[in-house]
Structure 1
């Protein structure tokens, strides 16, 4: 973590931007050296991680550069197995899931690493959710080669929000959808048989999280175990 000293966040961002423009690779090297300086101080951690990983958390988060989950949640190396994609989205289980990085990461985390907590973490001002909310029902306004097809895996989330919040301003609809996408992804996690089995046995808990980096607030909630009896709700 960088020493903030007396600089304001805006000044820190400006300083980093200037450093990157001057020498992008040097910025990375400097960052690594600062990380290394703190990392090697904890030799117990270094020795433990050299033997393998046993993280208690799997966190599914967005690729957005403003919301790195380990930074936001102050998690050290080895504490969380992290999957990041556009919009922190989880596709439902299907025969095609074998080609999904999300499916393979969830399988590895749950069955091999045996994580105890699976967290889907959404965030404010999410571009993926804004894109999802902006797609017309008839698909007449296609805007990308790959992004649209990806975010449409959770089109039911946007439909639900548009139905419930139809008179709300678009920005408010997007905020509601950012949280609905988290819940829809949690439901989709339940479509994976091994996730349901681990939840039923008490070995796995599913959580939702939402980070508002504008107001600097974090919300969290836990998926109710009663949902195991109603998996037909999976989005």
Structure 2
């Protein structure tokens, strides 16, 4: 027991004085040392726990930030794709209107009728034997003299002119009939002109396709399942 006491607390010895340590003091000293060790152990545990929490918070924050970044990227990409499609639709409508206006401008020019009439008469058999009947819009009344001069250079010897409030051209030679209305003609010709857009190079649609594939990859990141472009189109 004396060895234990000495190991706990070495006190200086004096030749004339003897140090006495009571049992209560010994127990108290042991308890203090035990409490100290327990406090140190608990402090280490709390430190390790705090460090673990800090690392967990950092990992969660990183994961959350990464996830939010992916979400934002997907949102931005989807918005860009929708905006691209909206602009493409708007451009198509503008081009359709431009084509209709162009056709209107071209068909309002009476010279096209002069050329068509000349080609049509060239295909007829024995036109001099019959009277050529021509129905024109009212706005073409002033062109009768020009048309008569043009027809005088052909084999036609007899021609009559009539006029209508409608934008309608009718030419009759015996049983042969040539008829043309401006508005229906514009509506029929416009889709044919616009159909030529299909012949544009693939590079025109390349950006749109790249955006679709990138969005599909982002969706795969969230779901773990490959997303097809058809699914993305359905969601749009």
TM-score, structure 1 as length reference: 0.20
Structure with the bigger percentage of helix: 2
Larger radius of gyration: 2
The structure showing larger relative contact order (alpha-carbon pairs under 8 Å, at least 6 residues apart) is: 1
TM-score (norm 2): 0.20
